[in-house]
Structure 1
């Protein structure tokens, strides 16, 4: 049975145009993506760094929606996009995205032909990988666009900076590969005080010096991820690769908002049930939280099955009527409970899990800290069971 409405406050919130209730058959839980803020963040980053931007849209554009985000970034003039896997690149091409797309992940041999067929730029991280790409390109009669990956300290993929000479020489001499760029990845740039970034920059510059020794033209050099963009101007070089910062979220707890990017995502739901829980009664699985006194509890229809962190059990909070209320008991697969104390709430009231309401805000960074995760995990964990709504779309001055 649906609980009756409790009582309305005189100052009950009226939803804004961008947050109006969805159609009756839509799920009340939704992610709202502000494309205007996304475009503004791109504009702010480009204005600050003064070089082209490769916007990273891997992992479903950090939970914001791969195709809608990429299409909008193309519309507002992004120079390049970056994805993790060839499948993401193919999805963009099939959706009509035509800007250059670099696949940042390692090459799986049988897929090389798909890179070339869909005009995707390939990360080449060793001589063997280069030969693999060359052989496929020759067999297809089409040249492949490549970027060389140099390992300057991440120890993930890429040829070591101290042994990259033969790869660079072979890439410059290749008949079937067009060398578009050379890059590395910063391991500690989210911390502005880490000395690791300076060491990586030095190693990368030493690797790039091979082009001068060979008398070959320098391809586009790109090194700065979000941390590099925010903290290390020396790493901006010829192009930058912002990911999480493009979506208005800081990459780490030590990071500084040196560029005034704003959060692009809101996560909202609605109250679906209200009840009074008597003192001494536990709430949710495992009876891990017990009411110390009679209190009002509401249920929200989202859970860890949607990617909302279970670690927020009895630790997280939400906004209802602009007031913060704690999650109580364990987060369930599809719902969780909120203790609203002696405050009022009623069915279909908006609940903000991430975002702003009446001048109060809950950030991705706060959710990550409360759940013991990184902001990256929070964003990419929000899965496709949650519908996305897109608002805005105009570049803000």
Structure 2
């Protein structure tokens, strides 16, 4: 493999055609509109290129966490409706309205803040009401939501587009909590029916809900990690066929023979009992490759699995290849496939003692992204480029 001088040997490769495949299969499975969740730099895949691609596929809605992410998408030319899912900060409310971003309203006080900002601008705000059905994060408790919903329905300056909650345990198909949350959510929505108002979009299902609980699909679903081809939890069942969209690859930059009992890396925590061959890979925890993979991770080189040895450094880590051979510039796969062998994000997470969400979203802007596939209209989004916002 030859790497251009201007391109770092470590890179993320995103297959946009896999995103298309995943979106299509999710749509077929649920039969309702999809809100593609692109928060946290599109789960490490690159906020703007992924959003552009999803827009080209006709995704009905996009979801982000913060107003800054929504503004970045608008500045990149995204016209698809965007809901900001996080709690709002009063001084930022005007930015939502100016940039045509839909607002999560999570309390009566927040509703009044949005109304005041909309009136000052002379422009209606589009809102989604957040109902807390058991997550205890943001939102009005379902059992005390009546006055909140009444105020939103009666609002002059707010257009009520949606009402939603978030499932806490849907990744586990055997959890009884999801049924309880659905019941609480539907009871809260009944307040709207009693008022004789049009029912806004009801959305509840995250990736776990999409996979395991069809009764939660309602009027729209919000796939996050599933959209990127990764299951949310070891307990999750693959009821929707998806393909991983992200690969993390690097190259060998150094080879040496390490004598028996000579420790490798910081802290001298690992040494081979015999002479061995060790190669160095130019990526570390400064890029988001977890230090927890010290002497626990594995990589693919020439379609063989080899262990990470010693502590992962900020910018590099070492791999023991035993008596095998490897050359400088050989491809190294950290997440992805090589000649029929695969290391999944789920497997990396398990070895690191964490969840695949943290692995993917932790891959930061030091790593260039390369985009493959997709529509010719998205040519500016392809090639090797850092994400626009992370």
Does residue 305 in structure 1 map to residue 268 in structure 2? Answer: no
User: SS at 1:230's partner residue?
Assistant: helix
- Of 29, 37, 42, the match for 1:61: 42
CA shift, 1:22, in A, is 4.0
Q: Deviations over 1:145-173 (max 9, x none)?
A: 00000000000000000010111111111
- Of 238, 257, 273, the match for 1:292: 273
User: SS at 1:223's partner residue?
Assistant: strand
Q: Which residue does 1:265 correspond to in 2? A: 246
Does residue 47 in structure 1 map to residue 31 in structure 2? Answer: no
Aligned equivalents of 2:212, 2:178: Cα separation in 1 = 10
User: SS at 1:156's partner residue?
Assistant: coil
User: SS at 2:49's partner residue?
Assistant: helix
Please list every run of 5 or more consecutive structure 1 residues that lacks an aligned counterpart in the other structure: 1-14, 16-20
Aligned equivalents of 2:24, 2:330: Cα separation in 1 = 35
Does residue 218 in structure 1 map to residue 196 in structure 2? Answer: no
Q: Which residue does 1:207 correspond to in 2? A: 188
Alignment of 1:1-397 (within 5 A): 21-393=2-374
Q: Deviations over 1:15-74 (max 9, x none)?
A: 6xxxxx442221000000000000110010001100000000000000000000000000
CA shift, 1:324, in A, is 0.2
Q: Deviations over 1:355-380 (max 9, x none)?
A: 00010000000000000011110001
Q: Which residue does 2:384 correspond to in 1? A: none
Aligned equivalents of 1:176, 1:56: Cα separation in 2 = 27
Q: Indicate the RMSD between aligned Cα atoms, in angstroms.
A: 0.9
Aligned equivalents of 2:65, 2:10: Cα separation in 1 = 28
- The 4+ residue runs of structure 1 with deviation greater than 4 A are none
User: SS at 2:12's partner residue?
Assistant: strand
Aligned equivalents of 2:6, 2:257: Cα separation in 1 = 29
* Paired positions, count: 376
User: SS at 2:299's partner residue?
Assistant: strand
Aligned equivalents of 2:5, 2:375: Cα separation in 1 = 28
Aligned equivalents of 1:152, 1:315: Cα separation in 2 = 39
Aligned equivalents of 1:301, 1:126: Cα separation in 2 = 47
Aligned equivalents of 1:394, 1:257: Cα separation in 2 = 28
Q: Kindly indicate whether the alpha-carbon contact (under 8 Å) linking 1:124 and 1:147 is maintained by their aligned counterparts in 2.
A: yes
Aligned equivalents of 1:129, 1:177: Cα separation in 2 = 12
Q: Deviations over 1:113-142 (max 9, x none)?
A: 000000000000111111110011001000
CA gap 1:141/1:183 in 2 versus in 1, 3 angstroms:
same
Q: Deviations over 1:72-108 (max 9, x none)?
A: 0001110000000000000000000000000000010
Q: Deviations over 1:234-267 (max 9, x none)?
A: 0000000000000001111111111011100000
Aligned equivalents of 1:394, 1:298: Cα separation in 2 = 38
Q: Deviations over 1:329-381 (max 9, x none)?
A: 00000000000011110000000000000100000000000000111100010
Give the alignment's TM-score, normalised by structure 1. Answer: 0.94
Please list every run of 5 or more consecutive structure 2 residues that lacks an aligned counterpart in the other structure: 377-390
